[in-house]
A = this chain, B = another copy of it.
Amino acid sequence: MKKVERRGLSGDAADRIRDAILDGTFLPGTALREVELAATLGVSRGAVREALASLEHEGLVQSEWHRGTRVTDVTPEVAEEVYTLRATIERLASTLAAQRATPAELAELDDVVDRMAIAVESGAEAVELLALDIEFHDRVYRAARHRRLCEAWLALRSSVRLCQLTRIRLGRAGYRGLVVDEHRELVELLRGTAEKRLARVAEEHVLGAMTALTKDLAP
């Protein structure tokens, strides 16, 4: 069984605010006032403060001394930073996962890819595909058994999601065709022993997404 996670109000608050940002309820540049959020969420300012600190750590918002916190804007620079950093850590994650993943974990990865395939065929929303994409990589990181690496991923994950959502909103959702095959290949490589190839593919898998997005973001 999985451990029950005990969190405080600030954790819940962070989730709500994060969702609102990813929803598009809070557009980039929006000022997130502590008192306002505290009133809306029905918690104290302290909890909101902690939540905002978490989100800043995730790169979703930025705060300045005595000037409040605003939702981060997705510029080409941000996208490049997020994806280059992600590509780098994904390289380590996949290498470790290949060494340490149990057969059960690999099977679960297969399962996620299958669900992706079904989603693509049945013409599901892009957002659903995105969730599966994230889940896939979550599992890879978990299989790597590297606490700090997982934390690094958690710190990046929301930004990755925001970048991908931005891309979807821009209409260029053209990754439907590739997504299944790319992930399928990753699982196969994780299963095998071709370490070098895996590291390269894992890195390129991420960098490919980056170039697609930065191209879209550039005017």
Contact = CB atoms under 8 A, between A and B. Distances in A.
Contacts of A152: 85, 152, 155
Interface in A94-108: 96
Contact of A65 (B6, B46, B57, B65): B6
Contacts of A92: 84-85, 88
A134 interface: no
Interface string A1-25: 0000011100000000000000000
B46 A81 contact: no
A76 interface: no
Contacts of A65: 6-8
Nearest to A147: B81
Instruction: Report whether over half of chain A's contact residues are helix, strand or loop; otherwise say mixed.
Output: helix
Number of copies: 2
Nearest to A53: B53
A89 interface: yes
Contacts of A46: 46
Contacts of A34: none
Interface in A71-85: 81-82, 84-85
Contacts of A157: none
Interface string A100-137: 00000000000000000000000000000000000000
22 contacts: A6-B65, A6-B66, A7-B65, A8-B65, A50-B53, A53-B53, A57-B57, A81-B147, A81-B149, A82-B148, A84-B146, A84-B149, A85-B146, A85-B148, A85-B149, A88-B89, A88-B91, A89-B89, A148-B156, A152-B152, A152-B155, A155-B155
Rank and list the top 3 A-B pairs by shortest CB-CB distance, nearest first.
Answer: A6-B65, A88-B92, A81-B148
